[in-house]
Amino acid sequence: MRLLKLIHELSLGDKYCSDDDMEILGITNISSNVKPGYIFVAIKGFKLDGHDYVQEAIKSGAVAVVTERNVTVNDGIVQINVTNTRKALSKLCSRFFCHPSKKIKVIGVTGTNGKTTTTYLIKSIIENSHSYVGLSDGIQTSKEGSSGDVKTGLIGTVEYLIGKKSLPAVETTPESVNLHYMLSKMVDLNLQYAVMEVSSQSLTQYRTYDVEFHAAVFTNLTSEHLDYHDTLAEYVEAKSRLFQRLKGNAFAILNADDEASNYLAQKTEAIPLWYGIKNRADVCCKVMEHFPDSTVVVLSYGKDEIKIKIPLLGIYNVYNVLAATACCLASGISLDAVKRGVEAFRNVPGRMESVGCGQRFKVFIDYAHTAHALDAVLQSIRKVMRNKGRLLTVFGCGGDRDREKRPEMGRVAVEYSDNVWITNDNPRSEDPEKIIMDILRGMRKDASYCVQPDRSMAIREAIMGAKPDDVVLIAGKGHETGQIVGNRVFEFSDKDVANRILMELAGNN
């Protein structure tokens, strides 16, 4: 793509007057990724400033640089000054890849907890709907078609799904360059929907600034990421950016049982559709029965009702199903199709994932790494245990993250567990002992717990101590396959460790 055609997207007007035009072969904000013919966009980060790497980018072949301030460049190198290089990066990437979000229905899911499961649920419902959509009175209506008509891509914490290809996720919401590239690949493969997690960090960094969303879903908001956002108000404001940029014909899917939804509703021009259990909502349900591996609900929308057996545990997953349902109903998918999609759903890796080798107790791996998430998981397990057996919990807290949640997680863990193992969970640059001490501050003195910094050993002790009807919950890392200590990442998987121990236990029996 020619330079002048590309930067026209920045609306520079008289601020950019040049006859320089050339073929642009790529865009990046990482100097080490620059190749001949690239544009380098200098972004000031938290630790590094891209403006300091302009010369390195030029040496690698950059023919143009986008900056927020004047820097010295070689003759023949085009320098384009903008107010905000993060916004510029999103705009340039969207244009370079021919505005892919305008050619595919992009659904963004944001919130503190439940984003990952909700995106997979939406994908399952859409792909089991066999529907193609059209507009009717602001809400879309469906037309049944043949199986396999609707193809859906996914971008999130666990993986990036592009057609039949699965890529390991590097970031929950990729940087603009990678995001628009992946959306363009989905368009090339004739995918009709792209469902993606949208983190608060990505919103403040404008990664999705030039993505046109068909719908935005809000799951919930709890005190989290306050290491990044100084206050809860800033955190809410960050989430609102997704809804502020929705167009009037897009959909805002809001949780009627979460106060933050009222603020988001005021910030958007999109068509609202509310879901909930406690408060009045467009999409609601009655929980009929809880089972160890499923939850039966009667879901209603307007005058229509349908009974669904959700193959997931816990009330928090009922909320995830409601969020996904409301989103799909807004896209014209019927309640019958929702039932098919939900009941065909298979659990997300690392989200209440069962690990077993025929033992007479249950072992679950879960990503719960906030007090709210841990509370929800533990309460759900307690409800289906029906006073049989013990609940044994292994967990830790990540380093270089919000310290205030640590004692609260400790309090929650001992409140619902019969025994707790406090261990390491990505200590990063922090002293693991100090992290554990923060957790202990929230725990009752009479609580039953032990401190075992070695995570493998903590998992081993919990599993080896389990008896028939007990439940072992290993929380915090979920799908992750590494343990971050200092600046190094060591190979580590809760699931693999648990499997090895259970196989060893099975062999001994």
Distance between CA 475 and CA 394 in Å, rounded? 6
Distance between CA 112 and CA 470 in Å, rounded? 29
Distance between CA 50 and CA 62 in Å, rounded? 13
What's the confidence (pLDDT) of residue 18?
A: 59
> Mean pLDDT over all residues of the chain?
91
Please report the DSSP string for 303-334 in residue order.
Answer: TEEEEEEESS-SHHHHHHHHHHHHHHHHTT--
CA torsion angle 179 486 368 202 (round to 10): -30
- Which whole-number Å values give the CA distances from 55 to 38, 41, 81, 269, 309, in the listed order? 13, 12, 16, 43, 59
Distance between CA 226 and CA 203 in Å, rounded? 15
Distance between CA 394 and CA 419 in Å, rounded? 9
What is the rounded end-to-end Cα distance, in angstroms, of the chain?
A: 66
Q: Give residues with Cβ within 8 angstroms of 2, minimum separation 6.
A: 21, 22, 23, 24
What's the confidence (pLDDT) of residue 39?
A: 96
What is the torsional sign of CA 212, 215, 221, 224? negative
pLDDT digits (tens, 9 = 90+) for 35-86: 999 999 999 988 899 999 999 999 999 999 999 999 989 888 999 999 999 9
- Which whole-number Å values give the CA distances from 91 to 72, 95, 180, 210, 488, in the listed order? 24, 6, 10, 6, 34
- Using an 8 Å Cβ cutoff, are 441 and 410 in contact? yes
What is the torsional sign of CA 371, 377, 378, 380? positive
Distance between CA 4 and CA 17 in Å, rounded? 10
pLDDT digits (tens, 9 = 90+) for 408-461: 999 999 999 999 999 999 999 999 999 999 999 999 989 999 999 999 999 999
CA torsion angle 472 121 163 186 (round to 10): -130
Distance between CA 114 and CA 290 in Å, rounded? 19
Q: Give residues with Cβ within 8 angstroms of 227, minimum separation 6.
A: 400, 401, 402, 403
Domains of the chain, start order: 3-96 (3.40.1390.10), 100-276+314-343 (3.40.1190.10), 353-508 (3.90.190.20)
What's the confidence (pLDDT) of residue 32?
A: 96
CA torsion angle 369 371 376 380 (round to 10): 80
Tokens for 308? Answer: 């669904």
What is the torsional sign of CA 220, 226, 228, 230? positive
Distance between CA 475 and CA 125 in Å, rounded? 28
231-234 long-range contacts (CB < 8 A, ≥24 apart) are: none
Place of tokens 């396999």: 148
- Using an 8 Å Cβ cutoff, are 255 and 219 in contact? yes
Q: Which parts of the chain have pLDDT scores under 70?
A: 12-19, 130-149, 223-230, 509
Distance between CA 402 and CA 280 in Å, rounded? 34
